[in-house]
Structure 1
């Protein structure tokens, strides 16, 4: 099972170079498993025992299974994750001509580690909006081939490089995509129109706009002398999206189960499709239009917010609290912060720890050093929006927010096992 899950994650990462593609990949898997798509613009007819999903902005998705018992009596078992990862996004007017090269201006999305982006074989993917025969349409594209790179400056010209130097995102990050030949200037929108034709057989009248991200073309892989690790891009947080999906597909219990994977977590989640927006609440209220039933259901529910955790790095062990250094391949990590950067309480942590023990899944804890700041997740945001009890957990990871991250090859199976048990558990606290 472990090898099958790891290979499935590798394939999912390859198919998901952008939040749009990650959401489309989840939707395809859900539909293949019998989940019915719902349209927010239409009336919904749902029934007990039904399985459904809905997307918003093409980059966020909520899937749910309805049990036979009323939501107000049984509550909901929710697993939350996010579809976005730090990256380089193409600017609206990106064309640059410098020293005979065609480059694209980029904006840093989220808290990216910038140095690893240099000297990589990069491609481009995302959503393009265009007009065709008088109609405005959108389509996902993925160049797939390595079309760009950001070369480092040679050590001979930057003798202080190994002592560390600040990277200027405006001047030093524009990827090179071609040499300019002839008199014609670069035209990125024309390039996108050509890609729409090559990839989808579409003839666009005008490319109106786009949301495109560069990504590393090197596939994820199981590595290590004994295959102990998974290395790949976007493990934060597509590993959790994939784990939640596999758990939802594996459950055959008569429970009310929800998987919510939202965009824009890396930039604060405040958007129409982010965790700090109305998406989840609006979906749940359509299922429970009566206010009292909605409030009763929320107070019988529990959310597991799954987002990767910082494993203790052997070269930087002093960056962790001495009693809270999660290890790779040692199970999911309960994340705690007294200042509510994580939403974990003793009640929700106790429930999750008991669930792990009952299902023979190892479990760990993380608290940041008292003299360091702490990141956050969708957990506190969703708890604050809905008033739902929440625990923040995640798979231990190295190099979070790098272009290539590292996780343990056993931890995906651990996470899927406990999330499957959660979806099937008979009692919530």
Structure 2
């Protein structure tokens, strides 16, 4: 198996095993520990070593992995940072979700982030996330759950009952989206189902107290296209960037300071303890470089690549792009630019990225939103403003962003990992 096929196989396994941010962080942490990183707890006192490699998590849904420089002071080496986010638009289960209508057991759900809702209909759905409970010793515990098999579906209304369905119909998130889980005679207890699920996995559960659960499509990620040049999967935005950053970190041979940060809640604004607008990185920097002047020098010598997928030009909707800035799948990573600071890219950071890409003959594309359309944003401007570090926003081009199943190019994945690897290994940024 060549390196590309091995990487794609690993990516597909990672995507399938990561239906929620909790599971994605669990997968990444396990991979990093296997590679020799040391897990630290934010509650403990740390003793960091030159060249040491460490990983921390927060809320089980955000992760930072980093390497201390081996031969230079951190204030002189700085940090080569790649940032991404672990969350994706989805349907979240409400706290009191049980619905019993016409003999059907349904769940009340809430839309998380800017999801494309139409693709959620008629899919084989399961449920996953984190559950908090009291164990037999009276202690508060939490554990991840994943029903894995299809347990729910959101059936479409037949065309015979809605003749105008193909002419455009607004989807009411409150009334159209509750999924069907089965047929019952009386209103069921959803927490009892969760307790049973935890018991099967070996947990000692007296009472389920609360949960953060999402629905997800059980269809596996897959290589498609006549030459298998495309990757189709849920949550490519932005688990693809998390995976690329992790792979580059594991593959790089660097003696400098390097860091991967994967935060949560980007799709809803990043304002949380585990989000990019929270203090997670500030807290980390204060601990790894306690003296203020040295910390400021470290940041001045640092750079961040904010990695979040970019809008590829859609062949059926080409007019939605600026004619000169329509990225194409498998034509290289995309530099994202916006004059109104929706992206953090500057001419300096853009040029640095281009120089890194040129070392391996990796083509680079650009994305600028049409001047008559609103522009989305990323963790790039937030992180850049919060910690004052040079930043570039880039991403792999993709189609169907925020759908339940998205599409990206396989060559772009491999090439972007290589650029990240070069970035981690460079002596000066």
Query: TM range, normalised to the smaller chain?
Result: over 0.9
> Which residue is 2:25 aligned to?
23
Contact 1:247 1:420 in 2 (8 A): yes
Contact 2:99 2:187 in 1 (8 A): no
Q: Note the alpha carbon deviations across 1:369-401, whole angstroms, 9 max, x for none.
A: 000000000000000100000000000000000
> Which residue is 1:160 aligned to?
164
Q: Distance in 2 between matches of 1:202 and 1:353?
A: 50
> Which residue is 1:247 aligned to?
248
Contact 1:193 1:203 in 2 (8 A): no
> Which residue is 2:126 aligned to?
123
Structure 2 counterpart SS, 1:277: coil
Q: Distance in 1 between matches of 2:324 and 2:85?
A: 28
Q: Distance in 2 between matches of 1:126 and 1:91?
A: 13
Matches within 5 A, 1:141-220: 141-181=145-185, 184-198=186-200, 200-220=201-221
- Say whether residues 1:375 and 2:376 are aligned partners: yes
1:217 positional shift: 0.1
1:143 positional shift: 0.4
1:102 to 101, 105, 108: 105
TM-score under structure 2 length normalisation: 0.98
Q: Distance in 2 between matches of 1:288 and 1:203?
A: 41
1:185 positional shift: 2.6
> Which residue is 1:80 aligned to?
83
> Which residue is 2:357 aligned to?
356
> Which residue is 1:50 aligned to?
52
Structure 2 counterpart SS, 1:79: strand
Q: Note the alpha carbon deviations across 1:115-152, whole angstroms, 9 max, x for none.
A: 00000000000000000121000000000000000000
Q: Distance in 2 between matches of 1:292 and 1:425?
A: 24
- Say whether residues 1:408 and 2:412 are aligned partners: no
Q: Note the alpha carbon deviations across 1:308-341, whole angstroms, 9 max, x for none.
A: 0000010000000000000000110000000000
1:427 positional shift: 2.0
- Say whether residues 1:65 and 2:67 are aligned partners: yes
1:203 positional shift: 3.0
Q: Distance in 2 between matches of 1:318 and 1:255?
A: 44
Please list every run of 5 or more consecutive structure 1 residues that lacks an aligned counterpart in the other structure: none
2:43 to 41, 64, 75: 41
Q: Note the alpha carbon deviations across 1:255-299, whole angstroms, 9 max, x for none.
A: 100000000000000000100000011111100110001101001
Q: Distance in 2 between matches of 1:401 and 1:43?
A: 40
Contact 2:77 2:428 in 1 (8 A): no
Q: Distance in 2 between matches of 1:13 and 1:416?
A: 17
Runs of 4+ aligned structure 1 residues displaced above 3 Å come to none
- Say whether residues 1:227 and 2:231 are aligned partners: no
Contact 1:5 1:412 in 2 (8 A): no
Structure 2 counterpart SS, 1:64: strand
Report how many aligned residue pairs link the two structures.
425
1:94 positional shift: 0.2
> Which residue is 1:138 aligned to?
142
1:32 to 34, 40, 51: 34
Structure 1 counterpart SS, 2:65: strand
1:5 positional shift: 1.3
Q: Distance in 2 between matches of 1:70 and 1:15?
A: 38
Q: Distance in 2 between matches of 1:399 and 1:275?
A: 24
Q: Distance in 2 between matches of 1:70 and 1:176?
A: 58
